[in-house]
Amino acid sequence: MFPRFAPLLLLCALILVCGGLLAGAFWPVRASQQSAQDFSAFSVPIYISDFELFSSATAPPNSGDSDLSKKSGEKGTPPPVFNATDAPSTQARRLMDYFTNALLDNLKKSGYTAARRRGNAQPDKGILISGVFAEPDAKNRIRRAMLGGGAPGTTMLLYVGTFNLARPSEPLYLPATEQNPDSRYGPIISLNNYIPMARFELSKNPTEKEVQEISVQIVHNISNLLQANPAAFAE
């Protein structure tokens, strides 16, 4: 009787084998979907690189000519990050440090794991926040901002890029091919349009409130990016 049922047994065996192969083929997709569903934005480590800011060797103007320095002593006026009488190098260092510390505080308050990037060490996972202070010149070309350089504008720009450390690194900007040296500014730069980037405007002698407001917005942007692209950071 066994030979009579041999074709039926063979058919059942083929069904089981094919079913196993199909399950094996589709399982990675389901696993990937599951990992994205289980992804928590707060599990992604975030690193902050000090925002780049030039300074000149020129002494800053007398604080008596600074409207902000006059207002900073008034009741209820937010204190500035640095004093108008500080050397340009001191002003730049204090502004870079204040931004980094403000970002660290706001990221940690929001539940993220954040650290300052030191040296050239490049972690292989997580997010890197990098920024550069800039200023448009008379021809509306973007140049690196330079404290103490005597540029005519009262405000400067801050470009902040967000990088996925698990992918090949991209530059935040590159020096422009053609340069026209000007002692009031840093070099002309070309920003990278292929990375998530935000632009902010702030005064050249910003208050602590200005910096805090910008850092809160940067954290908000990072949260939106993580939630919108879970698969990119779930690995």
Query: What share of the chain in percent tops pLDDT 70?
Result: 74
Domain that holds residue 224: 41-233
Q: Is the pLDDT of residue 233 over 50?
A: yes
Q: Give how many domains the chain has, as a whole number.
A: 2
Q: pLDDT by residue (tens digit) across 105-155?
A: 999 999 999 999 987 777 888 999 999 999 999 999 999 999 988 899 999
Q: pLDDT by residue (tens digit) across 96-106?
A: 999 999 999 99
Same domain, 1 and 103: no
- pLDDT score of 196: 92
The single-letter code of the amino acid at 54 is F
Same domain, 122 and 227: yes
Same domain, 34 and 82: no
Q: Is the pLDDT of residue 10 over 60?
A: no
| Band of pLDDT at residue 195, cut at 50, 70 and 90 | very high
Same domain, 87 and 113: yes
Tokens of 180: 């026209």
- pLDDT score of 112: 95
Same domain, 89 and 172: yes
Q: Is the pLDDT of residue 31 over 60?
A: no
**For residues 9-27, average pLDDT:** 44
Report yes or no: 191 and 146 within 8 Å, Cβ to Cβ: no
Same domain, 117 and 174: yes
Q: What is the residue-averaged pLDDT of the chain? A: 81
Instruction: Give the whole-angstrom CA distance, residue 15 versus residue 198.
Output: 55
- pLDDT score of 74: 57
Helix (H), strand (E) at residue 162: strand 155-164
Same domain, 33 and 95: no
Q: pLDDT by residue (tens digit) across 72-90?
A: 445 667 899 999 899 999 9
Instruction: Give the whole-angstrom CA distance, residue 158 versus residue 25.
Output: 48
Chain-centroid distance of CA 211 in Å reads 15
- pLDDT score of 24: 40
Same domain, 11 and 51: no
- pLDDT score of 77: 75
- pLDDT score of 235: 61
Tokens of 84: 């108008």
Q: What 3-state class would DSSP assign to 215? A: helix
Same domain, 30 and 114: no
**CB contact burial 18-51 (16+ within 10 A = b; e otherwise):** eeeeeeeeeeeeeeeeeeeeebebeebebbbbbb
Q: Is the pLDDT of residue 69 over 70?
A: no
HEC per residue, 50-119: CCECEECCCCCCCHHHCHHHHHCCCCCCCCECCCCCCCHHHHHHHHHHHHHHHHHHHHHHCCCCEEECCC
**For residues 173-182, average pLDDT:** 93
Same domain, 45 and 97: yes
pTM for this predicted structure? 0.78
Same domain, 17 and 93: no
Same domain, 68 and 24: no
